[in-house]
Amino acid sequence: MKSHLVKGLGALVAVAGLALVAAAPAQGVEVSPLASACITSLTVHESEDWGADGDEPFLRTNTGTWSAPGSMDNGSTAAVNRTVDTGTTVEAWDSDSPDPNDFIGSDTVGSGGTLTFRGDDAHYTAAYRAGAC
C-alpha cells in the first residue's frame, strides 16, 4: 500500500514537472522583447518613377520581402498584412528594370503607428499596429 502511494506521488510530481516545462515557453513569449507588429498597408504619396504607372514598391522586413501586387501611383494604397518583429528595420524600395532598384528609405518598427520612407524624391508610408497579423 505504501509503495503504491509513493509511486502515485512520484507520477504526480512527474506530471507537475511536465506541466511546468510546457508552461515555461508560453510565459517566455509574453515577456519577450521580440514583440510582433502587423504592417497593414502601404501608401505611395509621391512615386519615384516618372512614368504614368508609378512605382513598383516592395518592403524588405525581418520576416521576408513583400511586393506590391502591381504598380502604385501617387495616392495609391495596397494591403500588406505582414507580421514583423518590433524593433527591426523595414526598408522600402522601388523595383526597376533594367536599371537598379531605388532605395526609398528605412524606418524602425515601434509599438504601432506609421513607418515613413522619404528618399530619391519619393514618399511612402506604411501603417502598422501592435500584435501579429
Minimum distance between the CB of residue 96 and Ca ion, rounded to whole angstroms? 4
- Dist CA 48 CA 60 (whole Å): 17
Q: Which is nearer to Ca ion, 8 or 53 (CB)?
A: 53
Q: Which is nearer to Ca ion, 58 or 83 (CB)?
A: 58
Minimum distance between the CB of residue 60 and Ca ion, rounded to whole angstroms? 15
Residues at the interface with Ca ion (CB under 5 A): 48-49, 55-56, 94, 96, 99, 102
Instruction: Answer for the pair 130, 37: CB distance below 8 angstroms, yes or no.
Output: yes
Residue of minimal Cβ distance to Ca ion? 96
DSSP strands (E only) in the chain: 36-46, 57-61, 64-67, 76-85, 89-94, 102-108, 113-119, 122-130
Query: Nearest CA to 42 among 112, 109, 126?
Result: 126
In the chain, helix, strand, coil percent, each to 5? 25, 45, 30
Minimum distance between the CB of residue 21 and Ca ion, rounded to whole angstroms? 51
Q: Which is nearer to Ca ion, 48 or 107 (CB)?
A: 48
Minimum distance between the CB of residue 119 and Ca ion, rounded to whole angstroms? 11
Q: Which is nearer to Ca ion, 102 or 107 (CB)?
A: 102
